[in-house]
Amino acid sequence: MPSAAQATAVAAAVLYGCLSLSMAFVNKAVLSQYRFNYPFFLMACQMLLTMCVLEALRASGRVSLPPLTVASVKAFLLPSLCYSMHATLSLLALEGMNIPMYGALKRCTPLVNLVLAVVYLKKPLPSPLLLTSVFVITFGCVIAGFSDPSFEGFAYAMGSLSVVTQATYLTLVQQCGENQFSPLHILHLNSCISFTPFMLLTFALGEVDKVLDFKYLNDTRFLMVLLLLLLFGLSLNFSLFLCTMLNSALTTSIVGVIKSVLQTVIGFFVFGGIVFHPVNITGIILNTIGGFMYTYTKYKEEWKKKVKIDLGDAGIQHSGWELKEKLGTKR
């Protein structure tokens, strides 16, 4: 029987997977079905909600957060700006892209992460198998994109830029994690820093007036969907950090790949689906296979690293069950 800690870890992974799977569809409903194309207003509201919840949890003594200081703001300013750009560009891309292609494009993030890890973080070159998996992901996305019957240049440009800013954000967050920033501290810093530019852009671009004049503003169903979107954004951030803390970053990435596959399959049939094209479908399949290859390769590399650290080279000779007993079941 699994322990309570194991059950909690599994529940956290399932929660993250479900929320992450649902988020793209909720975003798509708000942006496409209702034509609520006000990304800066949405992100400002999400950041404000995140700040309020975290401050309420801190006031109640449920979480411990370091105070907001000039030094911490300076340290996380660039990652937060990259996050803000990524979030905004993703919303702009999702409005004009079908969900299967959106997921395929997002799976190209490891390519940029790989380059940044080598160039910026000075990490060693990855293994040939990992390089192959990244190539398959990217090649599949290129094939699918060029044969997409619903291709929109602006949406694809925004999606490509969102991939670059997402990879930059993740690389910088990894660096902050190595500098002993806790996940909740990062979440708090990110929401506090991002709120100001989102709010300024909301007013500068006249989104507030447009929102107040929005034709569905008195529609109860739309308001429920909008509230659901904000709660999903907050919950997704919490579940992402929770899954990583209780499991590992590797488990979170595996859940992400499984989610993206389900998202792609469901996306074929919702919100009007997509126009089936053999080359487009082939590209999406290649992209998905590359995603599985990438996750499997990372898993094998991390497992070998753990074995060498915990057992030494001689430990590789043990059977899987013996390794499990020696390593223990707690992550």
Could you give the C-alpha distances from 216 to 23, 96, 168, 213, 225, in angstroms and in order?
21, 21, 36, 9, 11
Q: How far apart are the C-alpha atoms of 211 and 199, rounded to whole Å? A: 13
- Residue 308: its pLDDT value, please? 56
Q: How far apart are the C-alpha atoms of 51 and 122, rounded to whole Å? A: 34
- Residue 330: its pLDDT value, please? 43
- Residue 195: its pLDDT value, please? 92
CB 170 within 8 A of CB 109: yes
With CA atoms as reference, report the closest residue to 37 among 207, 233, 230, 212.
207
Burial class (CB in 10 A: 0-12, 13-18, 19+), 75: middle
With CA atoms as reference, report the closest residue to 194 among 48, 7, 9.
48
- Residue 232: its pLDDT value, please? 81
| Mean pLDDT of each 10-residue bin along the chain, 331 residues long | 69 83 75 79 90 88 84 86 85 78 76 80 80 81 73 86 84 68 79 91 90 86 83 80 65 67 68 63 79 76 62 44 42 40
Could you give the C-alpha distances from 61 to 159, 182, 249, in angstroms and in order?
40, 17, 27
- Which residue segment(s) compose the domain that 223 sits in? 4-327
Burial class (CB in 10 A: 0-12, 13-18, 19+), 162: buried
Q: How far apart are the C-alpha atoms of 282 and 277, rounded to whole Å? A: 9
Number of domains observed in the structure of the chain: 1
Structure tokens at 213: 């004049």
